[in-house]
Amino acid sequence: MSIEWVDWGDAAAWAAFGVALVAAFFSGRSVAEAKKARIAGERSAAAAEDSAREAKRSADAGEVSAQAAVRSADAAEKAHQLAEQQYLDSLPPPVAWEIRQVRKSTYQLINIGAATATGVSIDPDSVRIGRQFPTNATVHGNGGYVEFLMFGSMQAQIPTEIEVTWDGPESPAVVPVQKF
């Protein structure tokens, strides 16, 4: 049986037309897929830019935090040094003196420091109105004392301060006299 009504010249054209339709269909799908890929790429690029911005912000915040930590550590060190100095300042000095009148003519040279002082002396020639001044005495710290006498008169007043020497410092301490 032969098909006479089909013109084979037209069949090739129709086949070409069918292939063209299939190619157009797949081309359209490729274009759609390419568009989806382009959109996904743009979104990915935008996400990468956002991520980079966030990373920079995070790095900047980390730097600020590190600077704040350094400032905090410096402040803590200064506070520690201040507290240590205040503690040292609150301690009594190794040797410190007070002179107090305890009775009419009796005075005490009191070591208000923490350490014992040796070689403690008051030069009697510098005061001239007393007796029993300490000479090469040992006076314990934290309130240890030696007593001596001073007599005031109209011609010779009790001094307002007396020089005290002891082993250690090269120059004498000038100690105020506390009267009652």
**Percentage above 70 pLDDT, the chain:** 95
d(CA 133, CA 149): 7
Q: Which residue has the higher pLDDT, 4 or 18?
A: 18
Average pLDDT for 93-104: 94
Average pLDDT for 102-110: 96
Q: Is the pLDDT of residue 116 over 90?
A: yes
The whole-number pLDDT of residue 171 equals 93
- By the 10 Å C-beta count (0-12 exposed, 13-18 middle, 19+ buried), 39 is classed as exposed
Please report, as a single letter, which amino acid is at residue 138.
T
pLDDT band at 101 (very low <50, low <70, confident <90, very high): very high
pLDDT digits (tens, 9 = 90+) for 121-149: 999 888 889 999 999 999 999 999 999 99
pLDDT digits (tens, 9 = 90+) for 76-88: 999 999 999 998 8
**Percentage above 90 pLDDT, the chain:** 50
Q: In which element (H, E) is residue 171 found?
A: none
The whole-number pLDDT of residue 180 equals 82
- Cβ pair 124, 150 in contact under 8 A: no
Average pLDDT for 48-57: 89
Q: In which element (H, E) is residue 113 found?
A: none
Average pLDDT for 35-55: 88
Pairing of strands 97-101, 106-111: antiparallel
Q: Is the pLDDT of residue 160 over 70?
A: yes
